[in-house]
Amino acid sequence: MTETTEYDVVVLGAGPVGENVADRTRAAGLSTAVVEAELVGGECSYWACMPSKALLRPVITRADARRTPGLADAVQGPLDTAAVLAHRDEVTAHHRDDGQVTWLESTGARLHRGHGRLNGPRRVTVTAPDGRTHHLTARHAVAVCTGSRARLPDLPGLAEAHPWTSREATSAERAPRRLVVIGGGVVGVEMATAWQHLGSRVTLLVRGDRVLPQMEPFAGDLVAEALRGAGAEVRTGTSVRAVTREADAVTVELGDGERVTADEVLVATGRAPRTDDIGLDTIGLTPGDWLTVDDTLRVPDHPWLYAVGDVNHRALLTHQGKYQARIAGAAITARAQGVPLLETDRWGAHAATADHTAVPQVVFTDPEVAAVGLSLAEAEAAGHRVRAVDYDLSSVAGAYLYADDYRGRARMVVDLDREVLLGVTFVGPGVGELIHSATIAVAGEVPLERLWHAVPSYPTISEVWLRLLEAYRG
């Protein structure tokens, strides 16, 4: 039996991005359908942000405790890995999405479970798990919020070796005795940190000359040093030639012919868009491609089509995707109501400008890395006349109280022509909570002469702002 239903808006994907698009369009009175083939709540809730941070939080808490006089001796033992994994399972609701479904339905959106594919302009065909099809028509907009998946390199034997991706790394039921991690980006270093402290012997293989290559060099240096200090082996400048699995062991052959054997191998070498089977060919677009959008998240030459979150490759971060969802929801609503965007855009509500200038990110390793905006190298490559101002975080009173042996560093990248910040990076225990102040400074283009009068509380690590500004003024 085939049924056709018309809505104002159809959303493909019920992760945090799709949920937020639907919430905004429903709040504006637009009828909205959401199509999801897996779990409502998406990658972040079950295989990425939430479970990974549930694995990392005990690691970071114990590390902080071990740096605290009067407490250090009490926390020298190993983590209770079984308890950590059990808490991870609670955080992910044991991969049940009942609560997320209840919330989505409370917005008034209609959930369609199944695989959704475009079938021409404004049309979506949903194939339900039982094989039945349902045709949806969108009066105003279709929003593609299907996210991204792990990208596996074309290595001989890799597919047959059944490697871990980020999904397996965050949902594993036990710690492998030996784990090889291929890739030194955020997923690679976070999962290397988690599993090394949960009982695995980790070998991290990095093709380039440092981990976290997109960030300031000192960030990767400090994270790699900490991983080595925890017992992990970090190899930079290392390529992988092939992977094989025999019985219960997997062997990774390196570019120089050396072989590394482990129980599991995690491949963390990037992401690919989930667009290969959503019907892009029916509207003249290429399946498997990232979708290009303008700042309202609309796909050029397709005035009814929006691509929001990872799928547009602007910023592959959950918080940026949710920000884009708010923008897209407002833009869809304004256009559906026939309201010119500029007339209602007092808050810049219809343009995702933060994707260009002020994208914040926290890497939840020990030490943490928090960054927003441009690195020094990126600012120079973009043609800005800049100056980097560095400060040793251990010299700040709040950091000294945080831990006797606190190690960290801060950098702000200053646009010398306008005297505003283009980027800020912090590395050290607890710095994740500093990044929103930096995001406000970068996004708001706060002049340094005004930032000078934003007085940090004493004694907190935030006092680093005063020290950076003092260093800049000379």
Q: Residue 246: which domain range?
A: 159-269
Helical spans, DSSP H, in 348-462: 354-357, 376-381, 397-402, 435-443, 448-451
In a domain, 73, yes or no: no
Domain count, the chain: 3
What does the longest C-alpha to C-alpha distance in the chain come to?
A: 75
CB 341 within 8 A of CB 379: no
Domain boundary among 294, 329, 354: 354
Is the same domain home to 394 and 347? Answer: no
Residue 345: predicted pLDDT: 64
Q: What is the mean pLDDT of the chain?
A: 96
Is the same domain home to 111 and 251? Answer: no
Is the same domain home to 192 and 145? Answer: no
Is the same domain home to 319 and 384? Answer: no
Q: Which structure tokens are listed for 387?
A: 């100056």
**CATH number, domain with residue 449:** 3.30.390.30
In this prediction the pTM is 0.95
Q: What is the DSSP letter of 162?
A: -
Q: Which structure tokens are listed for 377?
A: 């190298």
What is the SS3 string spanning 325-341?
HHHHHHHHHHHHCCCCH
Residue 274: predicted pLDDT: 98
Element containing residue 225 per DSSP (H, E) = helix 217-229
pLDDT beyond 90 at 230: yes
In a domain, 63, yes or no: no
- Neighbour count for residue 273 (Cβ, 10 Å): 24
For the residues 234-242, what does the mean pLDDT come to?
98
Domain boundary among 269, 284, 306: 269
Instruction: Please tell me the total number of residues recorded for the chain in this structure.
Output: 474
Domain boundary among 251, 269, 287: 269
* Burial call 67-88: b when 16+ CB within 10 Å, e when fewer: beeeeeeeeeeebebeebbebb
Radius of gyration, CA atoms only, the chain:
24
The residue type at 435: I
The residue type at 221: D
Residue 19: predicted pLDDT: 98
For the residues 95-103, what does the mean pLDDT come to?
97
Is the same domain home to 201 and 252? Answer: yes
Q: CB-side exposure of 220: number of CA atoms within 13 Å?
A: 21
In a domain, 62, yes or no: no
Is the same domain home to 388 and 452? Answer: yes
For the residues 247-263, what does the mean pLDDT come to?
96
Among left, alpha and beta (phi > 0; psi -120 to 50; other), residue 313 is left
Residues above pLDDT 90, as percent of the chain: 94
In a domain, 69, yes or no: no
Is the same domain home to 143 and 10? Answer: yes
Q: Is residue 153 reached through a cis peptide bond, with omega within 30 degrees of 0 on the bond before it?
A: no
Going along 163-239, which residue ranges are E strands?
Answer: 178-182, 201-205, 233-235
- Neighbour count for residue 450 (Cβ, 10 Å): 12
Nearest Cα residue to 317 out of 379, 370, 378? 370
> pLDDT by residue (tens digit) across 21-80?
999 999 999 999 999 999 999 999 999 999 999 999 999 999 999 999 999 999 999 999
Low-confidence winner among 143-157, 165-179, 331-345, 398-412 (lowest mean pLDDT): 331-345
Is the same domain home to 108 and 14? Answer: yes
312-317-321 Cα angle (round to 5): 55
Is the same domain home to 144 and 253? Answer: no
For the residues 258-281, what does the mean pLDDT come to?
98
Is the same domain home to 229 and 278? Answer: no
**CATH number, domain with residue 286:** 3.50.50.60
